[in-house]
Copies of this chain bind each other. A is one copy, B any other.
Amino acid sequence: MSTPAFDPRSLRALVFDVFGTVVDWRSSIIREGQLLSAAKGLQVDWPAFADAWRAGYVPAMDRTRGAGQAWIDIDTLHRQILETLLPRFGLQSLDEAERAALNRVWHRLMPWPDAVGGLNRLKSRFTIASLSNGNVGLLVAMAKNAGLPWDCVLSGELVQRYKPDPAVYLLPARLFGCAPDQLLMVAAHVDDLRGAQASGLRTAYVHRPLEFGPDAPPRPARPEGFDLVATDFLDLAQQLGA
């Protein structure tokens, strides 16, 4: 790694990306979709549907960033994207209640198999908080549903910005009254970690090779330039002595 070694004892808190890092959004959406197919007798390509829904996310956030644009929460953005997908995937017959319920699948995403056990180990030694573009209500509902033991739910919503806006990365240092380099950002996404680094946070990359499915192009297992690289949260806990 090219950045200097650091002492985990200097850390005041660990902050986590959530979608893809803690929870497996793709498998969760596919499974809920398959349940919907079974209940309604619908034929849908759910893997393609999941990928299309997620693909709409970054462009939707980007539309809220421009000067004079009001911040809009992820629940609303997910619903806007969903409305464009329904006709493409043969789901026009869903009524309002069914659409609202499907949109809330993002509140019910399932953790990666190591995530809850790893978070509980990390929590025994460190303060652990989400630092997600998901809105607070979504993150709290997800945590209750999946057993994510956050000490604190932090979201870009609290500063009305989306990562990689520095205001999001600087929020936990302000709230926890510490220096940015006393925080460790944990994420499965190089861009997110680069944003955290630019605001002075320490960084841990966690490899999630299945985030975009088993047939997606391989992503790096050990990218350069981060303080830690871990195979999963249990490995991260081990490396941090938790």
Contact = CB atoms under 8 A, between A and B. Distances in A.
A137 B75 contact: no
A75 B177 contact: yes
A116 to B, nearest CB: 15
A136 interface: yes
Chain A contact residues: helix, strand, loop or mixed: helix
A144 B136 contact: no
A141 B176 CA distance: 9
A135 interface: yes
Give me the 5 closest cross-chain CB pairs, A-B, nearest first: A136-B175, A137-B176, A140-B152, A152-B153, A137-B177
Contacts of A140: 127, 129, 151-152, 176
Contacts of A137: 175-177
Given A127-B144, A144-B127, A136 B152 contact: yes
Chain A: interface size category: 10 to 19
A157 interface: yes
A239 to B, nearest CB: 21
A110 B205 CA distance: 37
Contacts of A141: 127
